């Protein structure tokens, strides 16, 4: 198991904030050109960067018991939350019937299913030379767009489209990230981010759906060679933005660093709040630059809350099927209560 570093926890915490913010911002992308640009810039890299670091920490996939551990960590939460989301949507959207379909993941749950498949796909792909393996993965990612039936079913489209990022993360070593953090690379990354933002400013007709990897070329209304060109452009933009992001991630420990370990909790739980937000009248009052900035603050606060020790302690039995965090929390609470009781009696 690779040693945990503040650098990666910082990266994961920043990325999960962007995931929450991006989901909150989605309701307003057609209200403002600037908001739409910000949304597209975020979506060029936040999930690819998450996927890349997941691949980086999958280097022990050949160890005994690894796949069983991954299955418990990923598939069980997926099935549990697939059921919970089905019931949640049934009441939130007043659906006529309750539909539970484990083969078509609800909303953000696609990531869990794809993560499971990516770990399995490492077995054949890791045996090949890195450059050859990545080339094949990219070809598959480009080719999957020609098949309509793979769009949402088992998250197969996203699985194959995003797999090159996971595979690249697996092949990357610690020294690659060290090189990225050099001052020269940070300088270059700044211009890349500005360049990509400028590209979206002028390419106003660029459909953000190309950044999601979930639809076939037919569904995106392009069937000729331009479709492959468009997805190749997505790969280019995303790889540039992912490396630019990791070039500027801080290495030092901050108040939020430890919270970067709890991104799975935020990822699984924030959807309930975001969906409720979208279905409520509250979102109708957010149509000004000041309120858009408030969404950033709300995303930050929501991320801190959902990754806090208190919430993760009570959510762990559902997400990880464990009670270790809850037991630790109760023990600490008991110690604090005893301490203050003694302090009060001493006075």
Ramachandran class of 221: left when φ > 0, alpha when ψ lies in -120 to 50, beta otherwise: left
Alpha-carbon distance of 260 to 303, in angstroms, equals 10
Locate the domains of the chain by residue range.
6-307
User: How far apart are alpha carbons 342 and 347 in whole angstroms?
Assistant: 9
Q: What is the pLDDT of residues 236-287, one digit of tens each?
A: 999 999 999 999 999 999 999 999 999 999 999 999 999 999 888 777 777 6
The mean per-residue pLDDT over the stretch 211-218 comes to: 93
Q: What is the pTM of this model?
A: 0.92
Q: Is the pLDDT of residue 10 over 60?
A: yes
Residues 105, 110: Cα–Cα separation, whole Å: 5
Token look-up 């392009």 returns 222
For residue 58, the SS3 value is: coil
pLDDT value for 219: 92
Q: In sequence order, which ranges of the chain are alpha helices (DSSP H)?
A: 6-25, 33-56, 66-70, 76-92, 110-125, 130-143, 156-171, 174-180, 183-202, 225-248, 263-279, 289-306, 309-319, 324-346
Look at 102-106, 179-183, 289-293 and tell me which has the smallest mean pLDDT.
Answer: 289-293
Six-digit token string for 53: 């670091």
pLDDT digits (tens, 9 = 90+) for 59-111: 999 998 898 888 889 999 999 999 999 999 999 998 989 988 999 999 899 99
Q: Give the model's confidence band at 310: pLDDT under 50 very low, under 70 low, under 90 confident, else very high.
A: very high
């Amino acid at each position: 198991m690779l040693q945990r570093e503040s650098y990666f926890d910082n990266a994961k915490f920043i990325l999960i904030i962007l995931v929450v913010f991006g989901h909150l911002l989605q309701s307003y992308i057609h209200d403002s050109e600037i908001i739409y640009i910000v949304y597209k810039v975020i979506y060029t890299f936040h999930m690819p960067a998450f996927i890349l670091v997941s691949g980086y920490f999958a280097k022990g996939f050949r160890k005994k018991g690894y796949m069983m551990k991954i299955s418990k960590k990923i598939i069980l939460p997926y099935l549990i939350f697939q059921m919970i989301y089905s019931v949640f949507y049934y009441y939130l959207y007043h659906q006529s019937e309750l539909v539970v379909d484990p083969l078509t993941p609800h909303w953000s749950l696609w990531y869990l299913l794809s993560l499971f498949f990516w770990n399995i796909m490492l077995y054949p792909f890791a045996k090949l030379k890195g450059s050859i393996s990545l080339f094949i993965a990219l070809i598959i990612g480009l080719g999957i767009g020609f098949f309509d039936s793979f769009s949402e079913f088992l998250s197969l489209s996203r699985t194959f489209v995003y797999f090159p990022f996971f595979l690249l993360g697996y092949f990357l070593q610690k020294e690659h990230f060290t090189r990225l953090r050099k001052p020269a690379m940070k300088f270059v990354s700044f211009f890349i981010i500005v360049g990509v933002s400028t590209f979206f400013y002028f390419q106003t007709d660029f459909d953000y759906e190309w950044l999601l990897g979930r639809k076939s070329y037919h569904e995106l209304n392009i069937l000729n060679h331009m479709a492959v060109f468009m997805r190749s452009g997505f790969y280019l933009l995303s790889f540039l933005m992912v490396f630019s992001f990791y070039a500027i991630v801080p290495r030092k420990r901050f108040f939020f660093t430890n919270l970067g370990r709890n991104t799975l909790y935020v990822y699984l739980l924030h959807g309930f709040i975001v969906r409720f937000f979208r279905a409520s009248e509250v979102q109708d009052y957010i149509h000004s630059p000041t309120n858009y900035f408030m969404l950033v603050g709300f995303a930050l606060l929501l991320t801190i809350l959902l990754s806090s020790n208190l919430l993760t302690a009570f959510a762990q039995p559902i997400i990880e099927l464990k009670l270790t965090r809850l037991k630790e929390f109760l023990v600490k609470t008991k110690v604090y209560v005893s301490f203050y009781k003694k302090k009060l009696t001493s006075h």
